[in-house]
Amino acid sequence: MTYRLEILDTFGRRIASFDDVPLVEAVRRSPDQRDSVRGILSARFGNLSPGYRIKVFVEGRLFCDVRVTEVVPRWSDTRKLILDRYVRFHEAVEFLAESETAAGNSIVSRAYANQSISAIVKDAINRALGSIHYTVAHSAYPQGAEREYLKFLARKTPENELQIGGIATGQWVGGVRVDTSAAYAKDGDTIAGIVVDGAAWPDLRMLMIDCEESSRNSHAITRHPEVADWTNAQYDASGYKLRADAATASLQSLIDTHGIDYIELNPHKNALGEYDDRVDAFGRYIGMVYGNGQCFNAAQVELGHADVYLYQDGLYHDPDMALKDFYSYRGTSADSIEDAPTALIALDTSVGILEALTALAYAAGGYVWSVDEEMAVQFYKAVRPARVWYFDPVRIGVAYGANRTELANAIYFDGNPVSGAVSKTYARGESIDEYGFAARSLEYFGISREEDADKLAAGLLDDLSYPERVGSVEFFHGNAEVAAGDLIEVRGGPLQRSDRELEHEFGGRFAGKLIARVREVVHRFSGAHVSTRVELTSPLRSVAAPLSFMVRSQPIGSAVFQFRLDDAGVALDGVHHLD
C-alpha cells in the first residue's frame, strides 16, 4: 500500500513530497468534524509553517487536504509521546494540520412545497456556494454535451429570446440572427468573431469551464502558482502550454464540425431582477454555446480539455440550470443522489447545506449521506452494506459495542414559530422500556406542517432511540478502499453483540447483523509500513450529534419573528412566500 504526502506553501506551490516518513497519522472524519494530519518529519526539512497545506494521497488517490495549524521543531535525545508511541527526538519537527469544521457548509435559503426529498437535495446543492456537488450517470462524450443541450431546449421559449440590438433582456439567440462564419476559438474557453443581428459581438467567455492559458499571464499564475517564478520561455515550453493549445484545437474542432446554432447568455439575476454576470472584467460576454445538439461547454470538460469552474464559488450561477451536473462530465460517474420519493409539504430552509442534508436524510426514512474528499455528496438509502469484512485475526482486529451517551427516545419538537407553530412530542416505547426515558428538545424552524414533522421525527427516532454502535476495525497492513461514510458489515469468527437487540432497532432494517457506518478512517504511515483503523458509528448516523448539528446555523426564534414581520413578502395569512 503506497502513500504520498505533499506540502504546499501559502502561494499553493508544492515545495516537498514524501513517500517515507518517520511517523504520520492522517484522519478523515464525518462531514461535521475536522480532518487532520499529525506526526513528525525530519528536521532536515525545515520549511514547514502554519498556513501551509498538506495533501495526503493513498494508492494515488487524494485522501485529505488540510492546513498546518501547529509546528514544533525539537532538538533533543529525550522521548515524547507522539500519537500513541514514544518517539526519541534528535532532530525532528512535530506538526498538526487540520481542515475546517463542516467544510463546505454554505447557507442555503429556499422554500420548497410538495417536492420529493431527492429533488430538494439536488436543488439545495445547486444553490450552495462552493464545489460541493452531486454526480449524475455519465460514461463519456457526448453524453454530457447532449444532456446540457436538452436542458437548454427545456429552458428555451419565444418569450426569453434575446432582444434585438442588445443583451439587457432575453436569454438566448440563434438561427439567422447569428453569423458565425468568422467565428474561431481564441483559446480553449473563449470564442471570437461572432456577429449577432449584423453587429460584431465582443469575445464570448464560456460559462462553467476554465482551460489552461496560452501564455504566462496572471490567470496562468492563479492556476499554477509555481509559474510565477518561470520565464515566458519556460512557460511556452511547458506541459501547460501544450494543454492550452490542445484545448484551443478541440474548441475549434467543435465549431468546425458542428457549427454554432445557439448562444445562451448567463441568465443569473440579482435581487432587483437585473442580469448581473453577462459581461466580465475584460468586456467579454459570458454564456453557453450549442451546436448540432451539443453543448460545447460540457464537451470541453468531457474531452478532458477544461476544468469545471465556479466563478466566485458559483455566486452568479442560476441554480435552476443545475450546472453542478458539470462535475459528472470529468469522467465516468453514477447517480450519487438516490431516488427518495417521500415528499415534504412545506420546507423553508435557511441553514447550512450539510445541516439540511442531515434533516432531509432522516425525513426520507432510513437514508444517509456523506461527502467525499472532492466534495461530492452521496445520498442513499441504507439498505445493504457497501463492504463486508470477514474476521481474520492475522489480518484484522475488531471491536464492536454500544454507547448510550447520545440516546434520545423522546423528542419534544417545535416547528416554525410563525407559519404553523407545530409543537408535538414523539417517543419510541420499546426504547423507553429497555433503556429508560431519555428526552431531547428540537426546535426546527424549517418545518411548519405536522405531516412533515412526523417524517423527520420518525427518522430521528429510528436512529437515536438506540445506543450508538461503536467500535473499530484495525487493518494491520492497511486498507486503501474504505471511506468515511461507508456502510459496512463484519462477519465470521467469534464476533457477536453483547447488548440485546430490540425488534424495531434502526427501523428493523439490519436485524441479526453486525452493521455500522464508518465514522472515521485513520491511516498511519511509518517508513514503508501502513496500517488503517476504521472507527464505527450507528448505521443511520451521518454526523456525530444530529440534533445539535441540524440547527447549527439556524436563527434563533426571535430572529425568525423579526425576519418574518419586517419582510415585505409576509402575506396576510402570516406565511412568508419565497416563490
Instruction: Specify whether the CB–CB gap between 80 and 87 falls below 8 A.
Output: yes
Domains of the chain listed by start with CATH number: 3-98 (2.40.10), 135-330 (2.40.50.90), 382-399+468-541 (2.40.30)
Give, to the nearest 10 degrees, the angle between helix 450-464 and helix 353-364. 90
CA distance 389 to 24: 26
At 494 the pLDDT is 81
The DSSP code for 159 is G
At 151 the pLDDT is 98
> By percentage, how much of the chain surpasses pLDDT 90?
86
- End-to-end CA separation in angstroms for the chain: 53
Query: Cell numbers at residue 49, please?
Result: 509553517
Instruction: Specify whether the CB–CB gap between 547 and 442 falls below 8 A.
Output: yes
Tens of pLDDT, residue by residue over 303-347, are 999 999 999 999 999 999 999 999 999 999 999 999 999 999 999
pTM here?
0.91
333-356 residues labelled b (16+ CB within 10 A) or e (exposed): bebbbeebeebbebbbbbbbbbbb
Instruction: Specify whether the CB–CB gap between 251 and 243 falls below 8 A.
Output: no
Going by DSSP bridges, is the β-strand pair 439-443/410-414 parallel, antiparallel, or unpaired?
parallel
Q: Which residue has the cell 423527520?
A: 456
Give, to the nearest 10 degrees, the angle between helix 353-364 and helix 117-127. 170
Give the other-Cβ count within 10 Å of 301's Cβ. Answer: 27
The DSSP code for 311 is G
Q: Is residue 579 over pLDDT 90? A: no
- The per-type count for the chain, helices as H runs and strands as E runs, is 11, 34
Q: What are phi and psi of 248, to 5 degrees?
A: -60, -45
Query: What does the longest C-alpha to C-alpha distance in the chain come to?
Result: 81
Tens of pLDDT, residue by residue over 358-389, are 999 999 999 999 999 999 999 999 999 999 99
The amino acid present at 415, given as its one-letter code, is: G
Q: What is the DSSP string of 410-453?
A: EEEEE--TTTT--EEEEE-HHHHHHH---EEEEE-TTB--HHHH
Q: Which residue has the higher pLDDT, 68 or 75?
A: 68
Tens of pLDDT, residue by residue over 80-110, are 666 676 666 566 788 999 999 998 999 999 9
CA distance 138 to 238: 31
CA distance 398 to 497: 12
Give the other-Cβ count within 10 Å of 208's Cβ. Answer: 30
- The band of 232, judged by pLDDT with boundaries at 50, 70 and 90, is very high
Q: What is the CA radius of gyration of the chain?
A: 27
CA distances from 534 to 280, 389, 390, 500 (A): 47, 12, 14, 24
Which residue in 85, 92, 83, 73 sits closest to 27, CA to CA?
83
CA distance 18 to 527: 10
Q: Which residue has the cell 485475526?
A: 393
- The band of 205, judged by pLDDT with boundaries at 50, 70 and 90, is very high
CA distance 548 to 441: 10
- The band of 570, judged by pLDDT with boundaries at 50, 70 and 90, is very low
- The mean pLDDT value for 402-422 works out to 90
Q: What is the mean pLDDT of the chain?
A: 92
Q: Which residue has the cell 425576519?
A: 563
Q: Which residue has the cell 441504507?
A: 382
At 454 the pLDDT is 98
